[in-house]
Amino acid sequence: MAKDYGEVKLFGVVGSPFVRRVQIALELKGVKYTFIEEDLKNKSDLLLKYNPIHKKVPVLVHNGKPLAESLVIIEYIDEIWRNHPFLPQEPYDRALARFWSKFIDEKCLPPISKASFTACKEERDKGTEESLEALEFLENELKHKFFGGETIGIVDIAAGFIAFWLPAIEEAVGLKILTHEKFPKLSKWSEEYTNHVVVKENLPQRDKVVGFFKARYASIINASK
Amino acid sequence: MAEESVTLIGFWGSPFVLRVKWALELKVIQYQYVEEDLGNKSPMLLQYNPVYKKVPVLVHGNKPLAESLVILEYIDETWKQDPPLLPHDPYERAQARFWSRFVDEKSVPALMATFSKGGEEQQKAAQEVRESLKILEGGLEGKRYFGGERIGFADITIGLLGYWVRIVEETVGINLIDKELMPEFDAWIDDFLEFPVIKECMPHHDKLLYHSKAFHKILTSSST
């Protein structure tokens, strides 16, 4: 169990990959926290007070002090609760971990979205090509069981989207990006990550996620007709 | 480890390279600067930054690093002499990181759109820049610098906006830093850019403006 450093609240929604990142981080360290479910169509006054700039989840509130942006929050959690470190010890390795976490958000997630949620074939093809290129870099970076080595680190937590949400999107919209043939290491890592004893307790229900993406895709197709 | 050679691969006009220069100079770290021709990227750059193929790249010993924010944190963790870049307190560190990301994710794209677009799109982008600067002003909280009494991480990361925004203002003729709307931000920028080490690293204003206007001409004439 992690040390008690005061009250921790996490504002989020169960389906959000960014919220789940923070939740997994807290759970891996055994931090006690209260999860406050937000209705994103009717955001609470508290959320708007704690994250007036982006008005988004996740927001972590520690002893009344709010923080936004999932990767910023995770580094904060790592600095307060020192057990199960998410970043390596050596500055260069730490820099690489930060580099790849950023890479996931900037270079992997956007083309996956572009490829998936469009009715335009050109967009889909371009997005797919960019996604494959980006995942190739990650495939080559994976040298151990996890990006963090033998234990989960910040890059694994950031890449959770690829392990869980990407396959759900692929099923929902009929896309093939993360295949065993093209990405044997990344595919194996996805299974390890999503089956990890702590991670699997903190992922949303898969059929609900697939259903959500199916509905989103259908509305985009309908709107294009 | 810290005594191994340091090389900064950059471009004279790049604001992101400037961030790294500021950090190296503030900490008085010896380094070699290598100018890159961005129109004809060297094999060395492509080898050291195969992912983004951009500057800045810091090479310490034989280890390359890309992405200015990542490089800044590496510098802070490797060379522990004064001044510290990130604050000591974890919450304040998180805030510095938050503001740095905000600059890169909100202010910079809006600024680039103000520079490259025309008409209504340009006006909309300019308004987004102003709004983002106003939000950043809130991060000052009445202090002299974002880092408190001394220049810190957030001053360096946000500071690139200071001169870049002014160059864009002069190039496209749209006011972005509104003295009345954001007096504290305006005052901070003047103060920051006058700090000796910061000022000495800046590219020559006239050269930068000339380069900016020339680039703007190419962009806008190719879109007609």
* Alpha helix positions (H), chain A: 17-29, 45-50, 70-80, 91-103, 109-116, 121-141, 154-158, 160, 166-173, 184-195, 206-223
Chain B residues with CB under 8 Å of A103 CB are 51
Whether A99 and B66 lie within 8 Å, measured CB to CB: yes
Short-list B9, B79, B97, CA closest to A78: B97
Say which CATH topology domain A8-80 has.
Answer: Glutaredoxin (3.40.30)
CA A98 to chain B, closest CA, distance in angstroms equals 6
Closest Cα in chain A to B76: A91
Say which CATH topology domain B6-78 has.
Answer: Glutaredoxin (3.40.30)
Beta strands in chain B (DSSP E): 6-10, 32-35, 57-60, 63-66
What percent of chain B stands above pLDDT 70?
98
**What number of H helices and E strands is found in chain B?**
10, 4
Could you say which of B51, B74, B95 has the minimum Cβ distance to residue A95? B74
Residue range B194-209, pLDDT digits in tens: 999 999 999 999 999 9
pTM: 0.96
Whether A137 and B51 lie within 8 Å, measured CB to CB: yes
Element (H, E) at A36: strand A34-37
Supply A90's token pair. Answer: 């050596």
For A68, the 3-state DSSP assignment is strand
The secondary structure of residue A65, as a DSSP letter, is E
Could you say which of A65, A80, A102 has the minimum Cβ distance to residue B67? A102
The secondary structure of residue B79, as a DSSP letter, is -
CA A193 to chain B, closest CA, distance in angstroms equals 25
For the domain covering B90-222, report its CATH number: 1.20.1050.10
Say which CATH topology domain A91-224 has.
Answer: Glutathione S-transferase Yfyf (Class Pi); Chain A, domain 2 (1.20.1050)
CA B206 to chain A, closest CA, distance in angstroms equals 34
Residue range B108-118, pLDDT digits in tens: 999 999 999 99
Residue range B6-42, pLDDT digits in tens: 999 999 999 999 999 999 999 999 999 999 999 999 9
What percent of chain A stands above pLDDT 90?
97
Residue range A123-135, pLDDT digits in tens: 999 999 999 999 9
Domain boundaries, chain A: 8-80, 91-224
CA A77 to chain B, closest CA, distance in angstroms equals 9
Contacts with B104 (C-beta within 8 Å, 6 or more apart), sequence order? B69, B157
Whether A65 and B91 lie within 8 Å, measured CB to CB: yes
